[in-house]
Amino acid sequence: MSAAALSSPPAHWTRKDLLGIEDLSREELDCVFATAEQFKATLDRTQKKVPSLRGRTIVNLFLEPSTRTRVAFEIAASRLSADVITISGNSSSLVKGETLRDTAENIQALNADMLVIRHSAAGSAQYLSRIVRIPVINAGDGAHEHPTQALLDAFTLREKFGKDLRKLKVTILGDILFSRVARSNIWCLQKLGAEVTLAGPATLVPKMFERFGVRVLHNLRDALADADAVMLLRIQHERQTSTHFPSLGEYTSMFGLNRLRASWLKPGAIIMHPGPINRGVEIDSELADSSRSVILEQVTNGVAVRMAVLYLCASAMPGENQNGRWKMENGKTNPTTSQ
Ligand code: CP
């Protein structure tokens, strides 16, 4: 879609909060992708800013470490002409004993217009969405969900394989048990009609995941043989409370993606990873840097997808839209006109 052909936001979006993928409809997913396509086209311009959220203030409350998600949300807000403020855990009054609820209510009292939250506790974003009136965007809550990661992963798959992902075979390999990325991707990919295989050691990929409608395999060769894309996951040390495999070295020797194992993939299969990657653990450096890898394209797409999410959730606020259409200051509805 050319920048000149950009239209008003699709009318399928009515949510002010993005808390997870599980309860999104197929139409809502398509709405995010269509909006992100429009915003991605603007990012190639010399003038990359669009006025869509001019005058709004977005607060990123990141209470867990992050590089990609935090910076992508900051850039996305900036590209939308919003003011953006990032608060990290150790620089906030949470370290003085303030509760998460009080922190969020104070951010709202400071007249912030949106709150993006990353937190180690599953359900934290949903909890805050019940407390504050402003939109709450989940940037990763414990092992529960990481919705914008799954959206940017699917957006990247659509770019690589076409918009119809039905029957596309995606293998997610690694620490599924503790991964919010895996959970959001399972929901997202299945809603889009893709066939999902989970692979890794039985301790990290228990058969119980089959109840989500996915295939669970512990034989890596079988899991890679028919995959169109393999999505690697890092071992989530920070969430593991007991030992699930003898050592990182043993994990790598059994399940790390190396040149030999990559040769089991189909010729056109791509390698994905949400990052941060642990080179030499779940993936060898030569594969992370190979032409099969789309890892950095995923990162790039994170900006357009997060612009779409911020824009759509803001447009769903009462008084901010009419029949799902964002009302611009000039009365027009095009979200991507350059300033
Ligand atoms: N993929 C991802 O969430 O990376 P960060 O932890 O760096 O944000």
> What digits encode the pLDDT tens for the residues 143-182?
999 999 999 999 999 999 999 999 999 999 999 999 999 9
CB 160 within 8 Å of CB 294: yes
* pTM for the model: 0.91
| Ligand 1 touching residue 68 (CB < 6 A) | yes
φ, ψ (nearest 5 deg) of residue 267: -55, -40
Q: What angle do CA 111, 97, 238 make, to 5 degrees?
A: 100
Answer yes or no: is the C-beta of 25 below 6 A from any ligand 1 atom.
Answer: no
- Please check whether residue 173 is in contact with residue 231, taking contact to mean a CB–CB distance below 8 angstroms: yes
- The pLDDT of 221-227, averaged and rounded, is 98
- Return the DSSP state at 61: E
CA of 250 to the centre of ligand 1 (A): 25
From CA 29, how far away is CA 335, in angstroms rounded? 18
What pLDDT, on the 0 to 100 scale, is given for residue 280? 95
102 C-alpha vs ligand 1 centroid, how far in Å? 26
Residue among 62, 63, 64, 69 whose CB has most ligand 1 atoms within 8 A, to mutate? 69
Distance, CA of 80 to CA of 58 (rounded, Å): 11
Q: What is the pLDDT of residues 253-270, one digit of tens each?
A: 999 999 999 999 999 999
Amino acid at 144: H
The rounded Å distance from CA 181 to ligand 1 centre is 10
Tell me, in angstroms, the distance from the centre of ligand 1 to residue 301's CA: 13
| 239 three-state secondary structure | helix
Handedness of CA 32, 37, 43, 47 (dihedral sign): negative
Run of H or E residues at 207? none
Gap from CA of 69 to ligand 1 centroid (Å): 5
What are the pLDDT digits (tens) for 82-123?
Answer: 999 999 988 899 999 999 999 999 999 999 999 999 999 999
Q: Does residue 66 have its Cβ closer than 6 Å to ligand 1?
A: yes
Ligand 1 pocket member 67 (CB < 6 A): yes
